[in-house]
Structure 1
């Protein structure tokens, strides 16, 4: 089966094989593996030794994003969230239910937020301490660029939490060049092509130390994870982790490096996206984003106007042809989405395009223009 969703992603056999073992997470032989993962992740993030630390947390991206908001934004404090996609919607809810006051910066889910919009919102409300921004919106496929937004946040004297869950490992970022970032968060099962189960924050040590007591949660307190590492060592785990996922992640990190690291991973994903974007256009379908706004992680496509089209039967028809995609959409207009990340190639994208064409023919879908 060709798995084309934006996570969990298709993985290499070597990665999956590493999880097929029983491991005691506190065994002395596993400590250097865990400590090595933390160091490798810091290096990929462009963090500075002694200034940044990798703080793992069991669970999905929502868990580590909530932990970052709870840790760095004081209870009752204000956080600005550029609101241009489904995962920003979720960040709004996470922050609100954690007792933080959200200032939403609304925008369409078809373009990135601009530095001018962020600067204006921060100037209008001096009480905002942080911006929490989604790096890559996996609903539509747009990219909110920290290279543009970060300087605006820094110039305003505020702090940034960057949700890079579906971007880290492919889209470039260097924490050394972004002193305004308190934490960059991501998970094991996306662009680094590991198995799901672990979240990570690469955080500025100065900020995480100052944030002690903010979280209001023991489980979701990144400062407590940092203090545990100081007490017990960087190879020690605070609570029982998805340890087999960590073992697989170590292999995935090695494969990432062997491929050529972030630049090579991005180049493959961009080519995947290009082949897919051009391919669906060639079938008469309408991508949700024009190519100039298209990110490398996922290509989202307007559902056809033909009354014979329905998403679940379409997904089922693709699955019969060996291609598995998401059976839901979370854009402002009805769409379907196809992941370009994971251990997949441009040739796999060509296979997917042919399967899409065959599935539409099976369903009797002749009108393929967007159902606007």
Structure 2
């Protein structure tokens, strides 16, 4: 089965095989492997030894996003401006509100990157805002927000920033050393690094982590406590039982990622996947949700055909019978369908998927069957 969703993604056989190992997370033979993973992840984010820390957390992207908000945005004095131009930005706002943080919303269309000038204007109008929260790659629609440009206005205003890079990290460029206004960039194991689900990561400046000790109001979601545990027990230690097999597999995926050429090579492959899908779907009569100039490389959305024979679940089922699996839900106001461009897939797989899409559309009567 060809898995074309924005995560968990299609993985290589050797990554999956790495899960078939029984490991004790506290074993001294595993500690060096875990330390090496943390250092590689820190370096991929542009972090520097002694200045930045990789802070892993068990769970999904929502977990690490909430942990970053709790850790870095003080409950009493913090105020988080969130760019609301997609479903995952909406989720960030809910996580913050349910953690008792004050949220300021900046609504924007989910069809393009937010204008940094709009963010600058809100920051200028409200000096009590302490942080900007932004989703780098919005998997609800496929758009990409310009994180470096947003960082410039945040830095100029003397504020801080939390970057949800859950579906971006490893493909879209990011350098925390060049963006000192960033308190944390967060991401997971199961997207552009092409690992398996189960663990999430934050990379953050150590100085900020220490300064924010005691903010979280949660033991589980306290990144400062993750850091202090590592200080006491060593960087190969865990606070709670981790998904250690998934972590071991992530180490294998990291090595493959680096051997492939790292972030630039991964981005090039995903962009080509997206181009093939975007152009090929149009040739089938499907209308993209985003204009190409706003289309990110992670996931492409297409409007559902207005045809009496089409239903999204029917299309998903017809594709599955042809060996391709896509999401059976959408996050946009308009009815769309989501097709991922990431994972262990390349141009041949995308062309195979387009053939399956043609067959599915013919089965549903949207397209006439080829003679």
Secondary structure in 2 aligned to 1:249?
helix
Q: 1:76-111 CA deviation, whole Å, 9 max, x = no partner?
A: 421000000000010010000000011010011101
> In structure 2, what is the equivalent of residue 31 of structure 1?
31
Secondary structure in 2 aligned to 1:128?
coil
CA contact (8 A) 1:109 1:332 kept: no
Deviation at 1:357, TM superposition (A): 1.0
CA contact (8 A) 1:83 1:104 kept: yes
> In structure 1, what is the equivalent of residue 152 of structure 2?
151
CA contact (8 A) 1:2 1:10 kept: yes
What TM-score results when the alignment is normalised by the length of structure 1?
Answer: 0.98
Deviation at 1:146, TM superposition (A): 1.0
Give unpaired runs (5+ residues) of structure 1. 368-372
Give unpaired runs (5+ residues) of structure 2. none
Q: Does 1:277 align with 2:278?
A: yes
Measured on the aligned residues, the alpha-carbon RMSD in Å equals 0.8
What TM-score results when the alignment is normalised by the length of structure 2?
Answer: 0.98
Secondary structure in 2 aligned to 1:182?
strand
Q: Does 1:195 align with 2:176?
A: no
Deviation at 1:331, TM superposition (A): 1.0
Secondary structure in 1 aligned to 2:130?
strand
> In structure 1, what is the equivalent of residue 57 of structure 2?
57
> In structure 1, what is the equivalent of residue 22 of structure 2?
22
CA contact (8 A) 1:45 1:202 kept: yes
Name segments (4+ residues, structure 1) moved above 4 Å. none
> In structure 2, what is the equivalent of residue 68 of structure 1?
68
> In structure 2, what is the equivalent of residue 340 of structure 1?
341
Q: How does 1:23-172 map to 2 (within 5 A)?
A: 23-76=23-76, 77-172=78-173
CA–CA distance in 2 between the matches of 1:339 and 1:347?
Answer: 15
CA–CA distance in 1 between the matches of 2:158 and 2:195?
Answer: 36
CA contact (8 A) 1:26 1:236 kept: yes
CA–CA distance in 1 between the matches of 2:93 and 2:308?
Answer: 35
CA–CA distance in 2 between the matches of 1:121 and 1:348?
Answer: 44
CA–CA distance in 1 between the matches of 2:26 and 2:97?
Answer: 36
Count, aligned residues:
367
CA–CA distance in 1 between the matches of 2:39 and 2:150?
Answer: 27
Using the TM superposition, name which of 305-314 and 215-224 deviates more: 305-314
CA contact (8 A) 1:229 1:236 kept: yes
Deviation at 1:347, TM superposition (A): 1.1
Deviation at 1:366, TM superposition (A): 4.2
Deviation at 1:332, TM superposition (A): 2.0
> In structure 2, what is the equivalent of residue 242 of structure 1?
243
